[in-house]
């Protein structure tokens, strides 16, 4: 084929796009219940927004970014994730100001771009639903936001979900732990992967997140960050655990979980699914955590934050594999059958009146015989078929058939044009 979509991208075709709309609408409803409001930020940002926040030793920044210099020689990145841009917007638009109710709670949905090796559930253009809450250090924000993510996934019919949490503590905690980790890893230096060697001194916590099998063996025995938590960090984490328990939310703690983005501290979490979509392996669908230093890192005040990102492609893969039924409305209100060339002006006026009254309506544009038109009406699941032929033209009244009951009536053209709502209501009881 001459033209193909770029590797790692997908066309979302009619039939599939309804599922996306359903997912997006459901998310909007759940976000509304928790009072998150939509924010829309640019699909591309200046390079520094990501190198500063996501971290310049993260996989995302070192390997996965679609970045380029534009015609004005600006270093631009197609956003690989949503948080950095939202934080940039929060700071730039001073959403921390006194006129904004705290915490400021926003959500976003849209495409993200990462230069990755495409495979099932891993695309170069993919979509995330995400939320961010700024301005509160309360562990209740952590817990309610995690609970919201779980509620959303349950609403989508997902079963067998696993919530994994960890804490990265505050700055003091991480400094103490960092040294302990370096001390542990240094004797293994020669065995580490090239990436991990590079990260050992720049950002040793990254080594815990290595995808390299041998690195993973080594870090199994690494010291646990949980042994380095200072008092405040312990208190925060303890409260988070208690609140989760009081809501009856099961969780596991993985002390080696650090997440792929550098901006997190305190609570981090992943929601994983072992759906058959992933061959029974656990795959992360939703991930996030607290990032108390990120706003100031991007030039704002010392405002804390908490958020998550949820991968829509992975969600839809699970829903398909688990055969979760989607309430997709594919019924057509009206199919208008026009018979003969003489009917054309009337069909045009009638169908436009019906659509103008707010009903879905379809007709024939290929001069097909009445029989073929009726067949189409059936295929499109029409509730009502309206027919206009020579006799209807003479009577200035159309034949209307309720396709469920077979009941037929005659309705004047003028009534269709002036008040189709009333006609439809009488016809489809």
**309 belongs to the binding site for ligand ATP (CB under 6 A):** yes
Q: Is 182 helix (H, G, I), strand (E, B) or coil?
A: helix
> Residue 49, SS3?
helix
Least distance CB 113 / ligand ATP (angstroms): 9
Task: Choose the binding region for ligand ATP from 116-124, 237-245, 367-375, 395-403 (rule: CB under 6 A).
Answer: 116-124
Least Å distance, CB 249 to ligand ATP, is: 19
x-marked contacts with ligand ATP along 313-342 as a string, rule CB under 6 A: xx----------------------------
- At residue 135, φ and ψ (nearest 5 deg) are 100, 10
With CB under 6 A as the contact rule, which of the stretches 95-103, 165-173, 192-200, 310-318 interacts with ligand ATP? 310-318
Q: Which residue, 162 or 355, has its beta carbon nearer to ligand ATP?
A: 162
In whole angstroms, give the CA distance from residue 336 to residue 339: 10
CB of 107 to ligand ATP, least distance (A): 14
| 172 marked as part of a ligand binding site | no
User: Residue with the closest Cβ to ligand ATP?
Assistant: 311
Q: Is 52 annotated as a binding residue?
A: no
206 is an interface residue for ligand ATP by CB under 6 A: no
| Closest to 386 measured CA to CA, from 329, 333, 331 | 333
Nearest residue to 263 via CA among 423, 53, 81: 53
Identify which of residues 123 and 303 has a Cβ nearer to ligand ATP in the complex.
Answer: 123
Q: Tell me how far, at minimum, the Cβ of 308 lies from ligand ATP, in Å.
A: 8
CA-wise closest residue to 235 among 170, 141, 304, 147: 170
Q: How far apart are CA 427 and CA 417, in angstroms?
A: 16
Buried b (16+ CB within 10 A) or exposed e, 95-112: bbeeeeeebbbbbbbeeb
Closest alpha carbon to 413 in 425, 423, 403: 423
CB of 118 to ligand ATP, least distance (A): 8
Residues whose CB falls within 8 Å of the CB of residue 345, separated by 6 or more in sequence, listed in order: none
- Give the integer Cα–Cα distance in Å for 172 and 292: 13
Per CB under 6 A, 82 contacts ligand ATP: no
Q: Is 392 annotated as a binding residue?
A: no
Determine, following the binding rule CB under 6 A, whether residue 223 of this chain makes contact with ligand ATP: no
Annotated binding-site ranges for L-histidine: 81-83, 114, 128, 132, 259, 263-264
Binding positions for ligand ATP, rule: CB under 6 A: 81, 114, 116, 121-123, 126, 128, 260, 284-287, 309, 311, 313-314
């Amino acid at each position: 084929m001459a033209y193909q979509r770029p590797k790692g991208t997908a066309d979302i075709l009619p039939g599939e796009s309804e599922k996306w709309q359903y997912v997006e609408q459901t998310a909007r409803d759940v976000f509304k219940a928790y009072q998150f409001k939509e924010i829309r930020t640019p699909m591309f940002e200046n390079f520094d927004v990501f190198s500063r926040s996501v971290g310049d030793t993260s996989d995302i920044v070192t390997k996965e970014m679609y970045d380029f210099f534009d015609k004005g020689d600006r270093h631009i990145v197609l956003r690989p994730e949503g948080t950095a841009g939202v934080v940039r917007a929060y700071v730039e638009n001073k959403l921390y100001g006194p006129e904004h109710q705290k915490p400021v709670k926003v959500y976003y949905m849209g495409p993200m771009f990462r230069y990755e090796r495409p495979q099932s559930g891993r695309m170069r253009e993919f979509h995330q639903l995400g939320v961010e809450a700024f301005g509160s250090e309360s562990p209740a924000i952590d817990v309610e936001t995690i609970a919201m993510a779980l509620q959303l996934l349950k609403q989508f019919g997902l079963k067998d979900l696993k919530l994994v949490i960890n804490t990265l503590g505050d700055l003091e905690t991480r400094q103490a732990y960092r040294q302990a980790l370096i001390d542990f890893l240094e004797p293994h230096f020669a065995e580490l992967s090239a990436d991990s060697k590079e990260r050992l001194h720049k950002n040793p916590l990254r080594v815990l997140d290595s995808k390299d099998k041998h690195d993973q063996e080594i870090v199994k025995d690494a010291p646990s960050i949980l042994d380095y938590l200072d008092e405040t960090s312990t208190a925060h984490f303890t409260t988070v655990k208690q609140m989760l328990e009081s809501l009856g939310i099961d969780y596991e703690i993985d002390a080696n979980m650090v997440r792929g983005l550098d901006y997190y501290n305190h609570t981090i979490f992943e929601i994983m699914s072992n759906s058959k979509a992933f061959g029974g392996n656990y795959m992360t669908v939703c991930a996030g955590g607290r990032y108390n230093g990120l706003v100031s890192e991007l030039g704002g005040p010392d405002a804390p934050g908490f958020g998550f990102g949820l991968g829509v492609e992975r969600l839809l893969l699970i829903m398909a594999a688990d055969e979760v039924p989607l309430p997709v409305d594919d019924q057509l209100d009206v199919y208008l059958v026009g018979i003969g060339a003489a009917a054309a002006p009337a069909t045009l006026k009638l169908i436009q009146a019906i659509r103008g009254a707010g009903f879905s309506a379809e007709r024939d544009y290929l001069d097909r015989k009445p029989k073929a038109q009726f067949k189409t009406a059936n295929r499109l699941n029409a509730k009502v078929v309206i027919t206009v032929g020579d006799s209807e033209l003479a009577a200035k009244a159309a034949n209307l058939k309720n396709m469920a009951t077979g009941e037929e009536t005659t309705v004047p053209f003028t009534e269709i044009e002036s008040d189709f709502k009333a006609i439809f209501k009488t016809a489809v009881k």
